[in-house]
Chain A
Amino acid sequence: MVAQTIAQGEVQSQSQEQSQEQSQEQGQRLAARSTQTVREAIRDAMAEEMRRDEKVFLMGEEVANYQGAYKVSLGLLEEFGEKRVRDTPISEAGFCGIGVGAALAGLRPIVEFMTFNFAMQAIDHIVNSAAKTHYMSGGALKCPIVFRGPNSVAARVAAQHSQCYASWFAHCPGLKVIAPYSAQDAKALLKAAIRDDNPVVFLEHELLYGQEFSLAENSSEEGDEEGGEGDGELLPIGKAAIAKTGNDATIVAFSRMVGLALQAAEQLEKQGISCEVIDLRTLRPLDSNSLVKSLRKTNRMLVVEEGWGFAAIASEVSAQMNEKAFDWLDAPVMRLSAQDVPLPYAANLEANALPNIEKICSSVKTLCNKK
């Protein structure tokens, strides 16, 4: 449980200062604050949906007494009790299958994986039991369940605790896959995921949990204006966002890579290259309309992904742009992914294995034929 140890260290100061009594006042304090962390956004999304619907409950390792290995479920046990915030033993296949069974029978479970690396113990239930049963039953059964937890790399936890599973889950019809970047998107999309009648894989990022996002301004505009349903506090699943507008090249990213892409775009702007940054937000269904729209404007596209490049989300984006927007391409769609190696432990090797701002900048320059 390396991740747990790391997580403990990371959030220790915060968890100590936020005692259980204080957590009740948190809503009021937040209202006065102008920013929110992703961790708080996810917690609030769950709490609000649990207040709204008795059938929604949270289960997973350390979600109750411990308040979440990453303190995402802080205060939930106190508010909702043991029936609805359920600690499980370390048995991913078992508790994931139990969650699926409860969903098939009509409840709306949120299954937390301490990290998605451990979800590999349970991937059979996500793919074979959750994703396929609606189809195999000819629509007789629904599986309204959310599988959530941190995905992809953390910091120095090495290969077995540092993998992006986005393309694994996005591969499967029957699943919806969400990987938000900002706190607002995380909250609005998680609420939408909990209300969705389909199994949703909700990929969070450990390195984003503590990141503050502004609550006041809406940092991103909708990529595709059509189909904007929801009641104001929800975001439609399957819609990308334009995180920054630009004209010379489109940088496509999701989750933590959106932040790097935005910083790279800022640097490139100073060098005379105007980048549009698209935050995919949902990976399945993929909002290819928004991608095509951006490509028609910029004619060049770089896809940045924290996971491996082979058979990846970037591969899919590239293939779809090739099929749908070939005539607007001034250069082949370019991919920047993690190096094709298990993630090493040594700090310098780890850094080199992953996309960073410098690599994004240099890729965009190559894409735009600028040195």
Chain B
Amino acid sequence: MPTKISSEDKNIAKVSPQLAVSLFTQMLEVRRFEERAGQIYGLGEIGGFCHLYVGQEAVVVGVKSAMQKQDSMITGYREHGHMLVCGIDPKKIMAELTGRASGTSKGKGGSMHMFAPEKEFYGGHGIVGAQVPIGTGVALKHKYENTNGVCVTFFGDGAANQGQVYEAFNIAALWKLPVLYIIENNRYGMGTSVQRAAAGTTQDGHRLWARGRAYGIGGKEVDGMDVIAVREAVVEALQHCRKKGPFIIEMETYRYRGHSMSDPAKYRTKEEVQGMREKHDAIEKMRAKLLKQNWASEKQLKAIELSVREKMKAAADFALAQPLPDQEQLFTDVYANELSHTSAANQTTNSLAS
């Protein structure tokens, strides 16, 4: 993996030097953010589940760079990187991860539940596969209101075995909804490899995207460790979605860290992980390209590295200095247009306590 010979040399010509540097910078931002999040988790400042995106950066950066302003994005619980590329301030994301009042969900959502509708980002969903019908519903809105937008709906190889994914495929195809499904195949659904979870994929050439064929939905696999290949494929796919309806792209990618912070990842060898990091890392490959093409100097790249590190350190410092939510926040946002919600039972408990 990647099974195909990378077409980077061909693709690099299609992006401007500025764009190439920008893609590199964004991938680096996601990685440094995640590394910082991992550190803070180790300090006990991030609780619960925390799923890092390290290794998969080229997917979300490449996809987002191909999207237009009216397009929407939705994904599952491994969404820190998606929030970042949608333009959300890393300070606010880190504040959410640490459960602070100034987090994107006021500290009430956490790592898995972040949303930014003002940036057309619809979450951040904790139930594996649930975002697939939801994203298809966002696509219905685009079609219903003729926005010319597409909802780019991400899910993993694990979610690809959920029944509701195929219910959504069926309806998306029947209704010709503008939805681009991105399967982030990082080879393991938690600790279970694709081959052990998805029937048919052990056969040569059988891919997860091909399951869409049953519904007449076209698809392809793309080297998800090559940001430019990702971008090119998505530009083309989005054109298809805007005119004709759903399409599937299966991104061959890899996560370097465990499924979540509590996963030591003993279901795969160190050599496998090491091999991916050394030979296929999207950021390192891009760095080499930038130098080779003379699109950036060592000095410039070093400056980018420093500034990204500084930005993510500032995000972490900001978050940790922020206050926790006020207790009143417990009862807000339960219902829309209701200032504060108090259930009858709680009223009694509170009155007894006071």
Q: Which residues of A contact B (CB under 8 A)?
A: 57, 83, 86, 88-89, 91, 93-107, 124-125, 128-129, 133-144, 173-174, 176, 197-198, 285-286, 288, 319-320, 323-324
Contacts and interface: CB of A to CB of B under 8 A. Distances in A.
Interface stretch (B14-22, B111-119, B197-205, B221-229): B111-119
Contact of B117 (A125, A135, A136, A140): A140
Given A103-B137, A104-B138, A93 B167 contact: yes
B140 A137 contact: no
**Which residue, of A103, A138, A286, A320, has the highest number of chain B Cβ atoms within 10 A?**
A138
A107 B134 contact: no
Nearest to B110: A136
Contact of B170 (A94, A129, A144): A94
Contacts of B333: 134-135, 137-139
A98 B137 contact: yes
B125 interface: yes
Given A89-B170, A133-B115, A197 B103 contact: no
Given A57-B144, A93-B164, A125-B130, A101 B345 contact: no
17 contacts: A91-B171, A94-B133, A96-B133, A97-B164, A106-B141, A124-B130, A128-B126, A135-B108, A137-B113, A138-B108, A138-B109, A138-B333, A140-B117, A141-B115, A174-B335, A197-B336, A198-B337
B335 A198 contact: yes
Closest 10 CB pairs of A and B: A101-B137, A94-B167, A97-B133, A138-B106, A91-B167, A105-B141, A101-B134, A138-B105, A98-B137, A197-B336
Contacts of B171: 88-89, 91, 94-95, 98
Contacts of B141: 101-102, 105-107
A95 B336 CA distance: 23
A286 B345 CA distance: 11
B125 A129 contact: yes
A108 B133 CA distance: 16
A140 B115 contact: yes
B334 A101 contact: no
B345 to A, nearest CB: 7
B136 A97 contact: yes
B163 interface: yes
B343 interface: yes
B8 to A, nearest CB: 35
A129 B134 contact: yes
Given A105-B72, A137-B109, A138-B108, A97 B335 contact: no
Nearest to B104: A138
A176 B166 CA distance: 30
Contact of B122 (A105, A198, A320): A105
A139 B113 contact: no
A369 B163 CA distance: 55
Interface in B332-354: 332-337, 341, 343-345, 348
B103 A138 contact: yes
Interface in B284-341: 332-337, 341
Contact of B106 (A93, A125, A139, A285): A139
Contacts of A138: 103-109, 333
Nearest to B135: A101
Given A98-B171, A173-B343, A198-B337, 11 more contacts: A88-B171, A93-B163, A94-B136, A94-B166, A97-B136, A100-B137, A107-B144, A128-B127, A133-B123, A137-B114, A138-B105
Interface string B136-164: 11111110110000010000000000011
A54 to B, nearest CB: 9
Nearest to A286: B344
B334 A104 contact: no
Contact of A125 (B107, B122, B133, B337): B133
B1 interface: no
Given A100-B134, A101-B133, A324-B348, A94 B105 contact: no
